[in-house]
Amino acid sequence: MTLALATTTPGEPEIFASLQGEGASMGRPSTFVRLSRCNLACEWCDTAYTWRFSGDNRFHRDELAFERKANQVMAEEADVARLVADLPPDRLVITGGEPLLQGAQLARMLAALDEARPGMHVEIETNGSVAPHASLDARVQQYNVSPKLSHSGNPAELALVPERLDAWAADPRAYFKFVVAEPADVDEVRALQERHAIPAERIFLMPEGRSSDVIRQRSGWLSDLCTQEGYRFTDRLHIHIWGDTRGT
């Protein structure tokens, strides 16, 4: 069986060692596997090459369309596990796109990885709208859940599924990361926290931005709001170090 992965260059899967740039594990050496395909379409998405292929008319502010053949590659689950096992970090971050769309395939890949290199800490980054496959869920130590607020451009009925948010809030492995572009966005975060009983200590607010300048401009007022509201602040470390580039 195969996984659909994003690419760094045509034909090369986006599997790489770096530092986790966001959230609860920020700064930790990690191996990243970036999958292709997404059920949502954020207008500011910085990985639109994982879903906005030619013919996809979902809105993105850059109005770019990517050729599927150059930006998506199919790889055998066992081959993905081998590539991960060969890299130094003992932490794996599976990102996307939306990884949970390929839950059964990921479960098989992680089973192969456990044979090749037991004991890897597994994080999955998800938009929070998709339930994890049962066989995958048993192999995950941490979920980085990023529900999409209204400024993402996604309809709430697709992005904010009440039963899923309730389930994530009840799971101590799940950390919430909200992308914030304007101070008013925090009102939505507060409402979701109250509606779904999300513990404040598991909520991170992150400035939206694909450049260091924009992130720094928004970090000042956002850090003040985190102090006032009792939320945690997260930067975008990889953007400051490497810029908005693939494979970093």
Tens-digit pLDDT profile for residues 191-244: 999 999 999 999 999 999 999 999 999 999 999 999 999 999 999 999 999 999
Tell me the average pLDDT across 41-57: 97
Specify whether the CB–CB gap between 34 and 5 falls below 8 A: yes
Q: What is the dihedral of CA 178, 144, 105, 69, to 10 degrees?
A: 50
Give the model confidence (pLDDT) of 91-111 as tens digits: 999 999 999 999 999 999 999
Specify whether the CB–CB gap between 92 and 113 falls below 8 A: yes
Express as a percent the part of the chain with pLDDT over 70. 100
pLDDT at 199: 98
The pTM (predicted TM-score) of the whole model is: 0.97
Cα–Cα distance between 102 and 109 in angstroms, integer? 11
Specify whether the CB–CB gap between 210 and 46 falls below 8 A: yes
Residues 6+ apart with CB under 8 A from 158: 39, 40, 129
pLDDT at 189: 98
Residue 93 pairs in a beta bridge with: 32, 123
196 φ/ψ angles, rounded to the nearest 5 degrees: -115, 10
Element (H, E) at 203: strand 203-207
232 vs 37, 172, 177, 200, 207, CA distance in Å?
29, 16, 9, 8, 12
